[in-house]
């Protein structure tokens, strides 16, 4: 089984690109805090890629610094560079969710409130 779940912040705003066949994709880098008993602020920077509608939504709704929850698969690409095997590990995004505060979500939260006038009633 190959399932990865990450929660972190985008290190830059995503850009929607298109392949030669017209499929949309975006590559993002997510800073994920690493647990440490020393309480030092360490983070891992994870490369993630989304395709199709998922890529379009991420590129449209997220900006640098926003928190995102990602579910996907770990992918390891093997290639040769200078006669030496190199490995590139990334996550292929299958699903994502907004997380963080209303301030982090910006206009996205406003859209949700317009469709549900009672949404501020619930603190969760």
Number of domains forming the structure of the chain: 1
Q: pLDDT tens, 71-123?
A: 999 999 999 999 999 999 999 999 999 987 655 554 443 233 333 333 343 33
Strand pairing class (42-51; 67-81): unpaired
| DSSP code, position 119 | G
Q: pLDDT tens, 31-69?
A: 999 877 777 778 999 999 999 999 999 999 999 999 999
| DSSP code, position 97 | E
Pair 29, 46: CB distance under 8 Å = yes
Pair 66, 10: CB distance under 8 Å = yes
Looking at residue 43, which CATH number applies to its domain? 2.40.50.140
Structural domain for 106, as ranges: 4-121
């Amino acid at each position: 089984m190959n399932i990865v779940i990450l929660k972190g912040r985008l290190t830059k705003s995503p850009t929607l690109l298109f392949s030669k066949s017209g499929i949309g994709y975006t590559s993002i880098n997510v800073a994920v805090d690493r647990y440490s008993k020393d309480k030092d602020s360490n983070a891992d920077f994870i490369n993630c890629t989304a395709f199709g509608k998922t890529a379009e939504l991420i590129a449209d709704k997220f900006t640098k610094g926003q928190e995102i929850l990602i579910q996907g698969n770990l992918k390891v690409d093997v290639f040769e560079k200078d006669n030496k095997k190199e490995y590139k590990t990334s996550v292929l995004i299958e699903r994502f969710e907004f997380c963080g505060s209303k301030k982090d979500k910006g206009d996205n939260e406003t859209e949700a409130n317009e469709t549900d006038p009672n949404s501020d009633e619930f603190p969760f």
